[in-house]
Amino acid sequence: MKVCVVGTGYVGLTTGVSLAFLGHEVTCVDLDQQKIDMLTGGSCPIYEPGMEDLLAEATANLTFTTSYAEAVPGADVVFVAVQTPSADDGSPDLRYLRSAAESVAQNLDHDFTVVVNKSTVPIGSGNWVDAILRESFAQRADRPAGCEFSVASNPEFLREGNAIHDTLFPDRIVIGSDNPRSLEVLNQLYRPIINQTFTAPSFSPRPDDIGAVPLVSTDLASAELIKYAANAFLALKISYANEIGQLAAKVGADISEVTRGMGLDQRIGSRFLQAGVGWGGSCFGKDTKALIATAAEYNYSMPIVQAAREVNERQRLIAVERLQDELRILKGRKIGLLGIAFKPNTDDLRDSPALDIANLLLARGARVRLHDPIAGERFRREQPSLAPYLSDSLDALFDDCDAVVLVTEWAQYLELDWGKFVGLMRTPILLDGRHVLDAERMARLGYKYLAIAG
């Protein structure tokens, strides 16, 4: 099929490159000329493992442009994957979605095109986008005869750092539309993934246990709500583990053992039960806030989701308070933070716990140093107020440090020669913000090991 993807962020780029790899003819459009130039030259503007390799393999079926007039005409499917940041009231800011829909409508010319909301959008956005498309299309003096289109929802469930694997080998594919023809087009588009008939890339082999991928084909509103409900539930699991972790600390229990015992229950599962400094990224915070805002429009409150957000915010403050309890005074203390990205294998800084912890420490007079094996360049660009506190080397971070906090569980930190650095510190205090280090081993090396929870 001929596919247009609007937006080349994490979701849009992964979608476009993956579909091109599967053999579809894909054109990605983005108004950022610098990003388009990078992609045209074979470079990736985001850090995502395997993306540049997949980009190279799919290049014969890929085109990048800043022109809607080049990307939209003749497309069987148009994916809209633009940013939908949170507005002040918690609802998603849909200005970019509106602009994209208007631009798409000005260039539709095919006998039937499915316009797909790939961005995470509020329930009802499919109907809203459909109205924008029809209004903008009707205003065209050159609108072609026989041109039909319909709106569908196809939410993404990608984990940054695992985006290619999650696209090619997903747990499920969700498509929603009130038009049966749209559902059939998307069914055919995804057939290679559903049936797993494609040759897997060498750097992302097909899992041995994968069979046919389940397809959830439903109405627009249900597909939109599935996305929010799934993300909110995962956020709830993490916040629940963190809340239990604080109780574990008070009663003398080991939260790692508690969550392991919980996770072995097949009704619960072990994923997203890791206690620590909390979740971050572009999805959980924004989507839980949007879900609460949507419910408020219908005079309905969601106290469980709100509590998950409050627990998550509290975890970042708890990290600072653990340091203060140990050091007594934070003013003038040098505190090193290992990891800036919100999770490993990405350079995404959105809602990163490290940023909040750094600002809280600075507000209390601490001397902060930060390090990240990948996200440093993006950090300097996006966080100019914190950029002076970035350390290019681990030696500089550990030197004369009063405490070090593991914030992001990068493999580079887990495999670190910790014994090499303990002697550089003024007081070898180590706060494990992710419960991933061996407490006994760290103690043998000379660290005073602290955990974020029991």
Active site residues: 283
> Which DSSP helix (H) or strand (E) runs through 174?
strand 173-176
User: CA angle at residue 171 from 97 to 284, to 5 degrees?
Assistant: 45
Structure token digits, residue 186: 């998307």
Q: Is the sign of the CA dihedral 413, 417, 419, 425 positive or negative?
A: negative
Residue 134 burial (CB count, 10 A)? 13
User: Which residues face 216 on adjacent strands?
Assistant: 174
In sequence order, what DSSP letters do the residues of 269-300 get, joined into one string? -STT---SS---SSSHHHHHHHHHHHHHHTT-
User: CA angle at residue 405 from 424 to 401, to 5 degrees?
Assistant: 25
Give the integer Cα–Cα distance in Å for 48 and 294: 31
Burial class (CB within 10 angstroms; exposed 0-12, middle 13-18, buried 19+) of 212: exposed
Q: How far apart are the first and last CA of the chain?
A: 53
Give the integer Cα–Cα distance in Å for 357 and 386: 12
Contact 261, 311 (CB under 8 A): no
Residue where the block lists tokens 């069979």: 211
What DSSP state is assigned to residue 390?
B
